[in-house]
Amino acid sequence: MLEKYRPEYFREVASFARKCTNFFYVKLIIKLHESGRLPGECHVWREHGHIVAFAAAAYLNPDDAWLWGMRVDPDYRNKGVAARFTQAQLRIIKATGRTWAGLNTLDHRRPAPTFRVMEKLGFRLEDTYADDVYWRRPRLVLRPRLAPFRGFLNHSRALGRRTFFHSRLGWLNSRLIPARRREVDRLGFTLDGVPLAVNRFRYTEKGRRFTGVTVNLFDRPADLKVFVPRLLALVPKRGHVVVNYPAEWQYQFRAAARAAIPKMKRNRGYWPSTWRIYGKELT
């Protein structure tokens, strides 16, 4: 049974979420929603009177929702909990008037349980993207000037790209639809003639102010070795850049980034991931 998360549930959620990967992520999701910084809500799932799963729904805009943070008690896995939980969340999301729900999951060569759950619930594989988070910028590379590009929505849709990093937070994805043309095209720029969507936002961690930058890159540059250092020069002096691009370029892109920023280490220079983006129309 689905219930809305309440602070007094944290201890019970933590008891199994700590056994799963990235417990800090669960705490971050709770903090964002409980503080009101991100519209949406957190949910828990009960079986036999006990909380056995946690997940959240972020309301990105009036049309889209993002499912994230699913954690299931290891003792209750492979029992259909994730599928029943997600179905209940979709009913709540649909009742808000939103018409699409999406989520991402790490891409694997072998089929993962999440893939089967998504197919069972009627989700569609929309795209497979790489996304890299960079905290360092290349030395001796001047910060580039970006030229406005007001046709990013039409351009990306012509390429068959259906989702992009949401403008508010760099790790959530939303649809590219005409209803948000003004929002998307406002983020459109070109770097050396290559179209990209760029969004900047401010955030605070431990009392310090930082700048975040998200970049959506859907066209392959002619020479990644030249382009990538120019792109990474957008990394702020205090903050980070998230770069989202088609997964088929990931090896060449990351090789160019390592050449531009020597001695990068995970969590210190960049954080590379490759994601499957699933979406479902809520009709």
- pLDDT tens by residue, 237-256: 999 999 999 999 999 999 99
Query: What are the pLDDT digits (tens) for 10-36?
Result: 999 999 999 999 999 999 999 999 999
- Given this model, what pLDDT does residue 66 score? 96
Class of residue 9 by CB neighbours under 10 A (exposed 0-12, middle 13-18, buried 19+): middle
Query: What are the pLDDT digits (tens) for 256-267?
Result: 999 999 877 665
Q: What is the DSSP annotation of 205-239?
A: ETTEEEEEEEEEE-SPPS-HHHHHHHHHTTS-SSE
- Span between the terminal Cα atoms of the chain, in Å: 23
Q: What is the DSSP annotation of 107-128?
A: --SSPPHHHHHHHHTT-EEEEE
Query: What are the pLDDT digits (tens) for 39-88?
Result: 999 999 999 999 999 999 999 999 999 999 999 999 999 999 999 999 99
Query: What are the pLDDT digits (tens) for 151-166?
Result: 999 999 999 999 998 8
Looking at residue 196, its amino acid is L
- Given this model, what pLDDT does residue 263 score? 78
User: Chain-wide mean pLDDT for the chain?
Assistant: 92
The torsion angles phi and psi of 17, rounded to 5 degrees, stand at -65, -30
Residue 213 CB coordination number (10 Å): 18
Supply the angle between the helices 23-34 and 10-17 in degrees, to the nearest 10: 150
Average pLDDT over residues 184-192: 95
Partners of 127 in the beta sheet?
Answer: 277
- Nearest alpha-carbon partner for 200 in 169, 179, 159, 222: 169
- Given this model, what pLDDT does residue 268 score? 61
**CA dihedral in degrees (129, 169, 139, 258; nearest 10)?**
-30
**Rg of the chain over all Cα atoms, to the nearest angstrom:** 19
| Domain 2-98, CATH among 3.40.630.30, 3.30.1330.60, 1.10.287.1770, 3.20.20.70 | 3.40.630.30
Average pLDDT over residues 164-173: 81
- Nearest alpha-carbon partner for 98 in 160, 153, 41: 41
Report whether 175 contacts 208 (CB < 8 A).
Answer: no
The torsion angles phi and psi of 78, rounded to 5 degrees, stand at 65, 30
The predicted model scores a pTM of 0.90
Looking at residue 20, its amino acid is C
pLDDT band at 110 (very low <50, low <70, confident <90, very high): confident
